[in-house]
Structures are given as C-alpha cells and as structure tokens.
Structure 1
C-alpha cells in the first residue's frame, strides 16, 4: 500500500525546511549541525526509529551529551532528531536531508530518523518514550504516512531492525533497549497507533535487571565486531574479519565510555568492544591451526625488540605479503624466534589466536647496527 502523498512529498523535497511540529506538550529544541557541505536530500519514504545504544550514558544530561557528540562527528553518523532527558526533543537537521544512520538504502529514503537517548530512571524513560512515540506520529502525519510499524511495505515507520532485516546492516534497535523497560514490539506498535500523554502517565514500564559487564581485564576473548575508539557509536562498528586477528586480551575496562573494553594483541591495539561484541572467552593454549605453515628455518630465541620506525606485521617471511598491522616507532614486541629469509632478518611470535606472525627488523647483512631498532643482537 502506498503510504505517502505525492503532493506533500514534492513539497518536502523542494523546500527541505525545518518543518514545525504542531502544537504539542513537547517542544522541539533547534540545535542544528553546522554542516561543512550540504548532505543532499532523501526521497522521504520512511521514518527510521533508533536508540543510542550507549549504556554508559544514562544520566540526566544524556540527551545533551549524545547530541554534542553527534554534532562533532556528523560526517560519520547523524540523524535529524534526538529524544531524551525527560521528554526533551532536539532537531539537528531539516526533515528530508540525507542522514547517516541506517545504511545507504535507508538513508536515501528517510524523511526523518529519530534517536532515543538512554536513562536509568523510570520516571525519565516514561516521558522520553511518550515524546518518542508522539514525535514519530507527528512526523508521520507531516509526511503522509500511516502509523503502521515495520509492515511489509517499503514505506512508513520503520525501526533500524526492519532496515537490517530487509535492506542492510546488523542493528536491532530500538527493541533491545525498549525491552529493558518492558516495552515490547507489540506495545510500541499499539502506542504509535493511538499516541500517549506527554507526562508519561500511560507509559507502562517493567525495567529488567541492568546489564553488568561480563568480562574482566586479562581475559583473552574472540570478538565479532570492534570499534576504533572508546566513544565510537554503533554505526562505526567494524567486522572482526577486517582486522588482522579476531582474538585479543582485555587490557583495560573503561567506565563511562561507549565501548567498555580495550583490546590488544601482542602489545598492538586492536580496538574497543562491549559485551555484545565478544563471542567467547579464548584459551590461548587450545590447538589452533596457523593460517600458514610455520617457517622451518625458525631459530628459537626469546627477546624484546623496540622499533625506531614503523614496521609491518606479516603472515610469513615473503616480502610481497600484505601488512596485517603496523608497529609504530618506539613500540615494543616480544618474540620467541627469528628467521633469516628473502634478504631480511625477521623476528617472530605467536599471537593470542595461535597464529605465528613475522616482523622484518633489518636487512640480512650481518650488521647489527643496520637493524631498525633495538633488541635483536644489539
């Protein structure tokens, strides 16, 4: 079923205005992103519902903190509306702008995308949820959509989970966070149909037990997704197969950050993860087949090498092999052997995934003074 007015759609595309919401108990605060370039326009076929996914930001100022972060990093991810901190609503961009929150297909079709900031207060959540529902309804009216949620058509009100299931991605918000407060998919769909009092008096909540961190510093873990910084939003997750290894050690727990655990392998930073990114505890002693046979010329020798320049990590002693990672200048690595091959001296170690790695530390010319750092016969 077609869910939008062609006349209204044309008007929205042409104007790209900050469309005012009708008279409601909530007030839309204008807090616009300062775009350095025009992001373009969407085709205005859907509204996308999100939640911030940040269990570390649940205080009374969670909305402002989320918005400030998004405004600083809008080139990576941004939406047009954010709701939180007791039913407040902030508009960051005009309706109809191309936003970065739901993958290429979802972004190209989204009239508006709405994020919901988290809270640990039931009173605050009731107001947040009511404003979230009513804002969605008002935007749907503006765009000429029905109030149906996640139906089979490519039009109307969609959650990020619907985008994942039908077009692209792996996000399931906002259902996980709503479920923590006892709001089911069916409840959200019903509330969108009828609306809610802005004071939250008809929002029914049954908060689940808060999720506590499951892992500890020093544990070796295998991860499925990872982030480059402690404060990367969900949209910036990286699939583990894009890293040189999917196994690392938790070296630090970061309270108050979006991503709780710092992950390293053999002294190299891999990134940051949350409980949901971790697949399992990894036992380094369990047998693991190396990705390539170990070099038969490996000479056993234990040491620590400190670089004086950037050096690549290689899967073997072949000069043409692509770098898996890099050691920065003055970083150190512990090794358990070395190989002289293909004109270079290579120190070697086994990472926590059980795979042997190699780093060329200088030319194989017999001159220890020519190595690219200290700790290999010098």
Structure 2
C-alpha cells in the first residue's frame, strides 16, 4: 500500500491478531484497489484459493480494527469469503497457517480466541469476520493451533484437508528455520527468469514462515520478505550480526582487502552466510572495472 496506513507502531508492540473477512470474494489486487479509495487497509489478504499477499508491512500500522490502539498493536488478516459468509477450506488453512506464523514470530504464544486472536467484531459493531467467528470458529482456531504446534514443538503439520492423518512433508526445510539464500522470488510460482539476487535484497537471510508443498518456490520467508526453494538456500543463518550480502562481501574484498583468498575466502564467505560463488562473480565484475 502507498496510502491509508501509518508508518511505524506509535511505540507499541504487536500483541494480537485481528481476523477479518472481505464481505466478498476479493483477490489481493482487489483489496489493493478498494483501499486506494477507501480509508482502510490490512496487513494481509488471504484469497479463496489459499494465496496470501502482504499489503502493509508488519512494522507499520494498518487501518483495520476500527480502534487506533488496537491498530497499533495488532496484525490484521483479511479473508476472501463466499456469499454465506464462510471461507473455503484452502482459505481457512492458509489463514490459520498465517495466524500461527504471526503468533510464533511475535512471541504471542499458542493461538487462542480472545487471548491473542480476535474477530473484528470484538472491537466494533460489525458482522466481520462472518462465519470465521461463527460456524467455522472452532475449525479455524484448531487449525491455527495445529500449525503452531508443528512450528514450535515438532508435531506433524495439518494436511490442509478434512482427514485427521497429517501428510508427510515433502520439503527439505521446515517452518521456523532461519536460512541464508543466494537468490529469491516474489511469489511461490515465479520462474527462474524472475530470480532476484540476494545482493539486491535488504538482507540475504530470513525465517521460513510458510511452506506451500509442491510449489516451485515453496518457502515464504519472514511473512513476505521473499520466496525461495531448496536450490536457493545455502545453509542456516548463524545468528552473527556480521552476516552480509554477497555484494557487501565482494566490496570488502575488493576495496578493503578483507576475507583472504582462495579456500580461506570461500570458508569465510560460508561462515558469514554468503554464497561464495555469487561473491566471486561480483568480485570478477569489480576486477574487470565494472560496478555492482
């Protein structure tokens, strides 16, 4: 969003999730368009097919709860809905998964209605969020709790269907793991031709907050930083404040003579969470008189 939200959090910390419905079956782009002229916004939109889009950064205040203090201390999640106010199974699973990821990321604890997850109607005279806090109330929060348990306790993740038997994960990495990447994408389906080098990102690491099994780029990092696949991931982030992008590493090698040469440089790059091949590619550009 470029309007109808507020920068920052007015000094407040996120301590809850507020759940909404669209009162219609909107897409991510549809929400964006509506909020260009309507003085409202939310952090996320969950489409009927399960696709999630972020419209306001977590660090900023969305205008969604009809209460300024609540806006400043919450993450707002919108859901596309059917005519009867219910949401699809795909939307329920993705929305509940997102709620669990937000609760884990902000340290809110296991999702519970009226503890750390609230319906919009709790704060305003509205029918929102429809049957999410009606006929689907129990199913929604139970799914969120199952996803949360799988993130923090190693329990099996819900299958996303009605079967009580969870599916076996087919991905190499798991939700909650903090990984380093060399390239990334803007969506789970983006082709290789749209790969973004880590050097062009704000940082080259993030925590896996969602997994879309079977997708080309199945891992969502930090609830919206980017999407990556197994081939993009170079290992686990070591937690060092010295972690850097390949571009920064290359500049330090070329301009300051840091990080050694040969095998020493490669080992140093890996220690700092930098892809050594990407770093060397950038160093070669600098050596040829180019800019990075």
TM-score range, shorter chain: 0.3 to 0.5
Q: Which has the higher helix share?
A: 2
Structure 1 length-normalised TM: 0.36
Q: Which has the higher strand share?
A: 1
Bigger Cα Rg = 1
